[in-house]
A and B are shown apart, each in its own frame.
Chain A
Amino acid sequence: MQNDTIKLSDAEIIHQVVDGDVNAFESLLTRHKDLVLRIVKRHVPYNEVEDVAQSSFIRIFKALGTFKGKGEFKQWLSAITVRTCYDYWRKAYRSKEISMSSLTEKHGDWLEEVILDRSDSEVQDKGRQKEAAELLDWALANLSPEDRMIVELVYLEGLTGKEAADLLGWSLSNVKVRAFRSRKKLEKLLKETMKR
């Protein structure tokens, strides 16, 4: 089945799926799974990645009929995936499934080393990478789902406010307000960590 659709464009495959050929969706899945998985891996815990990516593809499939083909398919697909990740966090926070790891002095030391501008190799060695990842998870777990998404998209991925607004489907003003406030919250959390 996939061999028939391998040379077709995304728009042509979408047309086939909307016309009732469910199997044609497999080509879209194979073609875009790396992009979807890459987005999901950044936003959700690794043990949830495959389930959230599956939910994203189901949403993409159900919404295919509404894709007008005006923008790029990848952009549309990315927006649905980011919103699925956001929904995952909203659900997790509602059911209080967020694991709050505790921090130790090591994490405070890591922060101080970063500020003191130690050589990259020293800060980036394996042990330090673990502390950085734990500190990041802890800080993000202390933010609301909205603030978490904004911090990840704007400050950690370096997207512009407009790009983040397009992905999340929020207004630019809303993204700017949240970006400002979430950064302040993160600053406060980091200061508290350094005082430990």
Chain B
Amino acid sequence: MESIENKDLAKIFKALSSAYSRREDVEVGGTWWETRVMGHIRSLDTFYPTTNYIELYQQFLWRLAPVAFLLALTLAVLIVRMDFTSDYELAKIFTSDPQDFIVLAMNN
């Protein structure tokens, strides 16, 4: 048996999914674990999340504005480029193996 057809692969994935879902059967996270987590969290004494960022950085805000603008612009370009690359690769996969790609796209 040298090749696996799509329907056979679907059967294998179904059986592997079943093995995967059995990973949840392990018993963990008792009361002592909760105590340990809370103990660790209480020891994080330096933490305090402030929701007011403007208050934190008020004195630097205007001086940093042009830098922040440039940084945001660079990041935006980078993000667009990254997505563009993914789209390009997606198109490349489609052109190289259209039949298989359509089958997989329909399944997702």
Which A residues fall within an 8 A CB radius of B? 18, 20, 22-23, 25-26, 29-30, 33-34, 37-38, 41-42, 46, 49-50, 53-54, 57-58, 61-66, 111-112, 114-115, 117, 123-124, 129, 132-133, 135-136, 139, 152, 154-158, 160-161, 171, 173-174, 176-177, 179-181, 183, 187, 190-191, 194-195
Q: List 11 A-B contacts (CB under 8 A).
A: A22-B41, A30-B34, A54-B33, A58-B40, A152-B20, A155-B13, A173-B83, A176-B86, A183-B104, A190-B12, A195-B2
Q: Do A54 and B40 have beta carbons less than 8 Å apart? A: yes
Question: B63 contacts the other chain (Cβ, under 8 Å)?
Answer: no
B91 to chain A, nearest CB (A): 10
Mostly, the B contact residues are helix
* Residue in B2, B8, B49, B90 whose beta carbon sits within 8 Å of that of A176 in the complex: B90
Which B residues fall within an 8 A CB radius of A? 1-4, 8-9, 11-13, 15-24, 26, 28-29, 33-34, 36-38, 40-42, 44, 47-51, 82-83, 86-87, 89-90, 93, 101, 104-105, 108
